Chain A
Amino acid sequence: MPEPAQSPDTGQVVTPTRVVAAVCLIAPFVAMLWVSSYAKVEPTLIGIPFFYWYQMLWVLISTALTLLAYRLVLREQRARKGGAAK
């Protein structure tokens, strides 16, 4: 569902940075919608079935991925703005 976040006024639309950012944003969708990959009880973690702790672990993973995407987009944006100013 997510598309690359930006459609720039100038320059390339598809840059390597954006591809990486897009992958970061799409990964949680693949992981979470593929329910059969985690619909099991074992292995349990401190007594909590895999089904539950795995999804909660993905809260952290997807946060890290979104943060990465944010940093990447921000860096590219600054680079472009800096370039345009000169």
Chain B
Amino acid sequence: MTAALPSTGSDQLAAAAAKGVNGVALAVFVFFFVAVTVMGFLAARWRKAEQSANLDEWGLGGRSFGTWVTWFLLGGDLYTAYTFVAVPAAIYAAGAAGFFAVPYTILVYPLIFTFLPRLWSVSHRHGYVTTSDFVRGRFGSKGLSLAVALTGILATMPYIALQLVGIQAVLDVLGVGGGEHTGWFVKDLPLLIAFAVLAAYTYSSGLRAPALIAFVKDGLIYLVIAVAIIYIPIKLGGFGAIFDAAGKAFAEPGPTGKPRGELVSGAGSQWAYATLALGSALALFMYPHSITATLSSRSREVIRRNTTILPLYSLMLGFLALLGFMAIKAGTDIQGNPQLAIPQLFADMFPSWFAGVAFAAIGIGALVPAAIMSIAAANLFTRNVYKDFLKPDATAAQEHKVAKLVSLLVKVGALIFVLTMDKTVAINFQLLGGIWILQTMPALVGGLFTRWFHRWALLAGWAAGMLYGTLAAYGVASPTQAHFGGSSKEIPGIGQIGYIGLTAFALNVLVTVVLTVVLRAVKAPDGVDETSPADYTADVGDKGTTPDLPPATVSSPAGH
């Protein structure tokens, strides 16, 4: 890595960022990276419980987090590095369509307000660590629980991989991503180091590590966005000039000969916009990492309160999205990769040291979700595959050990994924993951409100949704890809273009309802429901709910 020699001087910045290494920015980046690494390892001692070798401690931070920690943790978890890179990149490439992320995150919070407190209560009462734990307990079906668990793991893996893609974008702009002439090892060394560090502190500290690091991550992100949204428009001549330039750029023909994008969603793309926003909002809290962060909170009220303060992040996301337009106006050189738009914009616009802060924000922004995702996937595997199917008599200590190992494996898998396959593969799978995870909603959210659905009907509906979603996504072509070219397709029967995930979800619900009616009519055997109505509204301090849960987990009815 001879290119790693420092080259100071902000006048050379643009050239340095494109070709060589920006020394000051890199130094600041490394400084923050080392700082959070230290924090990650120290986190193991933060609010440590006496008896710590179990999944509640490692995988849910002892279920002890209050309103603000939960807020940082969820924010750090949901608004990932990939979000920071991909949302403005989508705006940069196509305009209005990319802004769906804002209505999407607006809709998430009223939605989760209705069902997450119920999930928290029932999980707290029964010691559930994952959504699959709940589905098994509610419907008495290990098969359904396994389907939910595998869907969760499958959907999470590419998501972790995309966090690496986010880091890569930053490293590329920093000039340490390696050129075409460097060997693969040198090229990927910074990424390998970042992930080795991440894996090590997740292993030792569990969920406490990302919870603590999330403070730094979100603090940096808010700082960078606040500065960017004021400083860059001033440099570029105001928002009027920025949107004028964007409007002109979008009007020019793209690869298909049609205009490259739209400044405002036209009549033909409004269904896609709305269904993408709704479908994504429904899917977000089906992801295991969202649930892990939720269940780690101390009380039911913490979650409710959070639905009223989490939208601050949506505002930040909206501003971030606008940066995509600024990159157009600034004429940012993206070297053919729209994902470089934002990191490159920062490198061009900010003084070196602040560009370093911005890159650190994105880089650390990748570590927090990646850690939580790997923990969530590990929890799922441990509880719903290992304990349910492989070793029903596993002790709490064994669960703890297996989960730690699996969290490592998951990360190594994601790393191999990113290093050996093209980036577009990870993006395709992430797209599929969103469609897939939405198919677990009838079992989970349906189950939180009613026991009417039959477990076999839910399984059949899930399978139908998965199959339709996968096939439909496979059939979408784009100018650059023959398959998985996008997430929208004509909705059968409506004739408008809409989000495949939502169409698959509708099919899923339809199959589930019809089959439930049939199965109830023929009196198919129903599973045992171990929950009672009062479980869904229980809060800390209610009778039957202990504030300190770990002992309950050990004897949780997971093996039945």
Which residues on A sit within 8 Å (CB–CB) of B264? 39-41, 49-51
A40 to B318 CA separation, bound complex (whole angstroms): 17
Please give the number of chain A residues whose Cβ is less than 8 angstroms from any Cβ of chain B in the complex.
44
A35 proximity list for chain B (CB < 8 A): 265, 270-271, 273-274
Contact with B along A23-46 (1 / 0, CB 8 A): 011101100111110011100101
A2 CB contact (under 8 Å) in B105, B111, B273? B111
Whole-angstrom distance from the CB of B97 to the nearest CB of chain A? 11
CB neighbours of A69 from chain B (8 A) = 110, 113
Q: Count B-side interface residues using an 8 Å CB cutoff.
A: 48
Q: Which of these, A3, A34, A59, contacts B318 with CB under 8 Å?
A: A59
Count chain B CB atoms within 10 A of each CB in A4, A46, A66, A70 and give the residue with the most. A66
Q: Is the CB of B311 within 8 A of A63?
A: yes
Q: How far is the CB of B448 from the nearest CB of chain A, in Å? A: 10
Q: Which of B228-244 contact A (CB under 8 A)?
A: 238-243
Asked whether any CB of chain A lies closer than 8 Å to the CB of B444, the reply is: no
In the assembled complex, how far is the CB of residue B72 from the closest CB belonging to chain A, in whole angstroms?
Answer: 18
How would you classify the secondary structure of chain B's contact residues: helix, strand, loop or mixed?
A: helix
* A58 with B106, Cβ < 8 A, contacts A7-B536, A47-B242 known: yes
A1 adjacent to chain B (CB < 8 Å): yes
Q: Which B residues are CB-close (under 8 A) to A36?
A: 267, 270
Q: Which residues of B contact A39 (CB under 8 A)?
A: 96, 264-266, 270
User: Do the beta carbons of A65 and B102 come within 8 Å of each other?
Assistant: no
Tell me if B308 is interfacial: C-beta within 8 Å of chain A.
yes
B: residues with CB less than 8 A from A are: 96, 99, 102-103, 105-107, 109-111, 113-114, 117, 238-243, 263-267, 270-271, 273-274, 277-278, 282, 301, 304-305, 307-308, 311-312, 314-315, 318-319, 322, 449, 533-534, 536-537
- Apart from A55-B102, A59-B106, A59-B315, what are 17 other A-B pairs with CB-CB below 8 Å? A5-B117, A24-B110, A25-B110, A25-B113, A28-B107, A32-B103, A32-B107, A33-B274, A36-B267, A47-B241, A48-B239, A55-B103, A55-B318, A56-B319, A59-B318, A65-B110, A66-B311
